[in-house]
Amino acid sequence: MTTQKLTLAKGLNSGLRAAMEADPKVVLMGEDVGKLGGVFRITEGLQKDFGEDRVIDTPLAESGIVGTAIGLCLRGYRPVVEIQFDGFVYPAFDQIISQVSKMHARSLGALRLPMVIRIPYGGGIGAVEHHSESNEAYFAHTAGLRVVTCSDPGDAYWMMQQAIASDDPVIFYEPKRRYHERGEVDIDETAGAPLGLHQAAVRREGTDLTLVTYGPMVKTCLQAAEAAAAEGISLTVVDLRSLSPLDRPTVLDAVKKTGRAVVVHEASTFLGMGAELAALIQQECFYHLEAPVLRVGGYNIPYPPSRFEEEFLPNLDRVMDAVDRSLAF
Amino acid sequence: MSDEPTVRHHESVVTPAGEHDITDGGPDMVQFLDAEGNRLETNESNAPYAEIVEALTAEDGRAMYRDLVLVRRVDAEGHALQRQGELGLWPSLLGQEAAQVGAGRAMRPQDYAFPGYREHGVAWCKGVPPENLLGMFRGVNNGGWDSNENNFHLYTIVIGNQMLHATGYAMGIQRDGAVGTGDESRDAAVMAFTGDGGTAQGDYNEALVFAGVANAPVVFFVQNNQWAISEPNYKQFRIPPYLRARGFGFPGVRVDGNDVLASYAVSKAAMDAARAGQGPTLIEAFTYRMGAHTTSDDPTKYRIAAEVDIWREKDPIKRMRGFMEKNGHADQEFFDAVDAEADEIAARIRKACQEMPNPELPTMFDNIYVDEHPVVAAERDEFVAYHASFEGAGH
């Protein structure tokens, strides 16, 4: 075991570096990813070490970035694309939905688009409009895409490499407000990644209720579980890690054991990941359930000005409120 | 009357920027053959390409003519198959044969083409069997060929998307060190095809920005067939596409799209430059969509027959044949043989179309992902079991 203490941001950076060292076809593309290292410094130092042909500062046009990344895939490259902020992915929406997700099927399997689209997402950083969105449901809804999100430095490091190695296109959501969270990362190459890219992780095991969550809300849910424990309530916390496909067995096993489930995410609840999870859980765990599946998420309004976000985003109190309602049912 | 409304329902409040002449490409247009097939004198526009045309042999001319005729016949057969219910849709290239054959013949095997969905002539030149184009219009697949076999990408239906794919592919060629080496079998370039309507798309303009910045080996080949379904040029742009290239930082050339020699020469020069590392070129082939947008369209609703008549006189096949006859490059026997070959190909693709099997139903779940996806796998199993449940039940 070789461990390093890394931030989540550094985990991503190190994961990118490892992937670039392992495969000369891996190229990074995006706005300001070169000298600046990206606005969040996720690609810091990589242009210096791998050159301008492998770390490409692109013109400021998201459809152009994803569209040219498709062409690079067709020529045998594995581009890792950075979308600067969640709310700036929409100009590329057409290329992602119309082309990235469908090319393999359209070509009857002849063509592959092994690209990773990195999207820093979520709120909590006091940002201006368009910089705090959680738009994962659009992509998880789309067949042909894989959608994953990390919640800690270890996953940042390993999942990034696994996503780049995937022969399918992967949307990689990075919880931007957790970029500076620190953790021990086992970087032992021979042991490899502790979990598959599309496996969920049980972060804490309990007996009374399962919190199903991902990305930035994992920390919030773990804090809630800690607080609940002080009140004698025992919570399981499942970190989905993969939003498409969902690791159904891990989620369903956890819910069956506790009989209660609350889904927590920053995204608005209407037709969000929680809706799919609630449907799945009631379908597969009907006789195990002691209460309806509840959801805690962003309200169904556009992401509000940042002075509201503390109340817009699920926090420890709102998670605990849902836990209490489920237990009281 | 003072109470008369200032905005009327049947007139625009916008003053148009001015209608374009849609039958005359103007003095900048590179042209070698007039409508009758007379070889034009060297002039300021065509001079840079004269050497390429001079180097063409009678044999080259016959090969081009053959392509024009066969491509037109493939297209006519596609149209007929749609009318007879064998295809759901067909986008005709009628009138654009010379533009496409000229471009297609300027490509080497290692060059890659990114078409829209009307590039049957380019597909032909790249060696894609024409029957392979039919599957997507018959509804048995969404793209029935392996694009890497002939370096001809799948048809792209969303207008303009492919311009970026072409540019990215060209950026890959650069990274492979396959540009500017001087090795004719190694250096490669890309041709990206769209129409006049496509030039309004964001992706088109982004592609030109990216290609210019990267100095990528890509040639943008815009077939200006004057009509984006029902909208004429003046509703798509204020100045023609070839003049806009300069704003992106590379040359733009307008070529007579109904003159196969001109289309070939301009395309060859641009592709040679791209392969040599001199970056992108934009070619606007000034041509005309003689038919409807697709078999679902009715052009009598928006354009007049007299306009079509003017363009019929500029027919690309008639023009090339005139040139060959005047110069004794081919005899009646040759022309008859090409016609006979066209009949054979038409019969072949008709047969292939009619015999094209419906896909096995569970295959709609195939190739959604490279690696298995549990939802797709589970639904495939459920689908198969659902259908099996009816077996022997008399349904």
A201 neighbors A241 (Cβ within 8 angstroms): yes
Reference A266, options A86, A123, A84, A118; nearest CA is A123
**Contacts A75 to B, Cβ<8 Å:** 168-169, 171-173, 175-176
Q: What's the pLDDT tens digit per position in A273-298?
A: 999 999 999 999 999 999 999 999 99
Asked if residue B227 is part of any domain, the answer here is yes
For chain A, domain boundaries: 3-186, 201-328
Asked if residue B12 is part of any domain, the answer here is no
Q: Is A266 helix (H, G, I), strand (E, B) or coil?
A: strand
Give strand pairing partners of A211.
Answer: A237, A262
Q: Do domains A3-186 and A201-328 have the same CATH topology?
A: yes
The yes-or-no verdict on residue B278 having pLDDT over 70 is yes
Are B324 and B375 found together in one domain? no
B216 neighbors B279 (Cβ within 8 angstroms): yes
Whole-angstrom distance, CA of residue A130 vs CA of residue A95: 20
A166 and chain B in contact, CB less than 8 A:
yes
- pLDDT mean over B294-304: 94
B360 and chain A in contact, CB less than 8 A:
no
**Contacts B111 to A, Cβ<8 Å:** none
Are B289 and B374 found together in one domain? no
Torsional class of B117: left (φ above 0), alpha (ψ -120 to 50), beta (otherwise): alpha
Extract the tokens encoding B236: 């798509």
B395 to A108, B362, B388, B389, B391: CA distances (angstroms): 31, 19, 11, 10, 8
Nearest to A245 among B143, B207, B373 (CB): B373
pTM for the full predicted model = 0.96
**Residues contacting residue A81 through CB under 8 Å, at least 6 positions apart:** A28, A29, A30, A65, A66, A69, A115, A116, A117, A118
pLDDT value, residue B144 = 78
Whole-angstrom distance, CA of residue A152 vs CA of residue A184: 9
A52 and chain B in contact, CB less than 8 A:
no
Averaged pLDDT of chain A? 97
CA A68-A72-A76 angle, to 5 degrees, is 165
A211 neighbors A235 (Cβ within 8 angstroms): yes
Are B234 and B251 found together in one domain? yes
pLDDT value, residue B22 = 82
Are B336 and B264 found together in one domain? yes
**Contacts B168 to A, Cβ<8 Å:** 67-75
Residues recorded for chain B: 395
Structural domain that includes position B383: 360-395
pLDDT value, residue B16 = 59
The yes-or-no verdict on residue B10 having pLDDT over 70 is no
A183 neighbors A116 (Cβ within 8 angstroms): no
Residue B23 banded pLDDT, cuts 50, 70, 90: confident
Q: What's the pLDDT tens digit per position in B101-154?
A: 999 999 999 999 999 999 999 999 999 999 999 999 999 999 979 999 999 999
The yes-or-no verdict on residue B266 having pLDDT over 80 is yes
Cis peptide upstream of residue A245 (ω within 30 degrees of 0): yes
Are B192 and B234 found together in one domain? yes
Extract the tokens encoding B21: 């002449």
- A133 min Cα distance to partner chain B (Å): 24
Are B389 and B304 found together in one domain? no
Torsional class of A113: left (φ above 0), alpha (ψ -120 to 50), beta (otherwise): beta
Q: What's the pLDDT tens digit per position in B58-94?
A: 999 999 999 999 999 999 999 999 999 999 999 999 9
- Residue of A106, A146, A244 to mutate when probing chain B, most B C-beta within 10 A: A106
pLDDT value, residue B14 = 62
Walk across the sheet containing B190-195 and list its strands. B112-114, B190-195, B218-224, B281-286, B252-256
Whole-angstrom distance, CA of residue A159 vs CA of residue A80: 13
CA dihedral sign of residues B327, B329, B331, B337? negative
Structurally, how many domains does chain B consist of?
A: 2
Q: What's the pLDDT tens digit per position in A189-209?
A: 888 899 999 999 999 999 999
Nearest CA in chain B to A91: B202
Instruction: State how far Cα B63 lies from the chain centre.
Output: 19
**Residues contacting residue B59 through CB under 8 Å, at least 6 positions apart:** none
Residue B21 banded pLDDT, cuts 50, 70, 90: confident
Residue B3 banded pLDDT, cuts 50, 70, 90: low
Residue B81 exposure: Cα atoms within 13 Å on the Cβ side: 30
**Contacts B377 to A, Cβ<8 Å:** none
Whole-angstrom distance, CA of residue B210 vs CA of residue B249: 11
Are B162 and B290 found together in one domain? yes
Contact B210 A59 (CB under 8 A): yes
Domain A201-328 falls in which CATH fold? Answer: Rossmann fold (3.40.50)
Whole-angstrom distance, CA of residue B251 vs CA of residue B378: 53
- pLDDT mean over B243-252: 98
Asked if residue B15 is part of any domain, the answer here is no
Asked if residue B21 is part of any domain, the answer here is no
The yes-or-no verdict on residue B17 having pLDDT over 70 is no
Contact A112 B370 (CB under 8 A): yes
Are B311 and B366 found together in one domain? no
A82 neighbors A116 (Cβ within 8 angstroms): no
DSSP string, A11-31: HHHHHHHHHHHH-TTEEEEET
Asked if residue B114 is part of any domain, the answer here is yes
Asked if residue B339 is part of any domain, the answer here is yes
Given CATH 3.50.50.60, say whether it is the number of domain A3-186: no
Helices (H) and strands (E) in chain A, counts: 12, 14
Q: What's the pLDDT tens digit per position in A63-86?
A: 999 999 999 999 999 999 999 999
Are B127 and B228 found together in one domain? yes
Q: What's the pLDDT tens digit per position in A104-153?
A: 999 999 999 999 999 999 999 999 999 999 999 999 999 999 999 999 99
Whole-angstrom distance, CA of residue A57 vs CA of residue B171: 13
**Contacts A69 to B, Cβ<8 Å:** 168
Whole-angstrom distance, CA of residue B193 vs CA of residue B221: 5
- A243 min Cα distance to partner chain B (Å): 12
Asked if residue B138 is part of any domain, the answer here is yes
Phi, psi of A213 (to 5 degrees): -155, -175
Q: For the packed helices A8-22 and A153-165, what is the interaxial angle rounded to 10 degrees?
A: 30
The yes-or-no verdict on residue B1 having pLDDT over 80 is no
Q: Is A296 exposed, middle or buried (0-12, 13-18, 19+ CB in 10 A)?
A: buried
Give the ipTM.
Answer: 0.96
pLDDT value, residue A1 = 74
pLDDT value, residue B170 = 98
Q: What's the pLDDT tens digit per position in A217-274?
A: 999 999 999 999 999 999 999 999 999 999 999 999 999 999 999 999 999 999 999 9
Q: Is A189 helix (H, G, I), strand (E, B) or coil?
A: coil
Are B364 and B234 found together in one domain? no
Are B389 and B327 found together in one domain? no
Are B310 and B373 found together in one domain? no
Residues recorded for chain A: 329
In CATH, what number is assigned to the domain containing residue B214? Answer: 3.40.50.970
The yes-or-no verdict on residue A159 having pLDDT over 60 is yes
- Residue of B114, B151, B154, B206 to mutate when probing chain A, most A C-beta within 10 A: B206
B205 to A217, B112, B235: CA distances (angstroms): 39, 20, 17
Q: Which amino acid appears at position A302 of this protein? A: P
pLDDT value, residue A191 = 84
Asked if residue B36 is part of any domain, the answer here is no
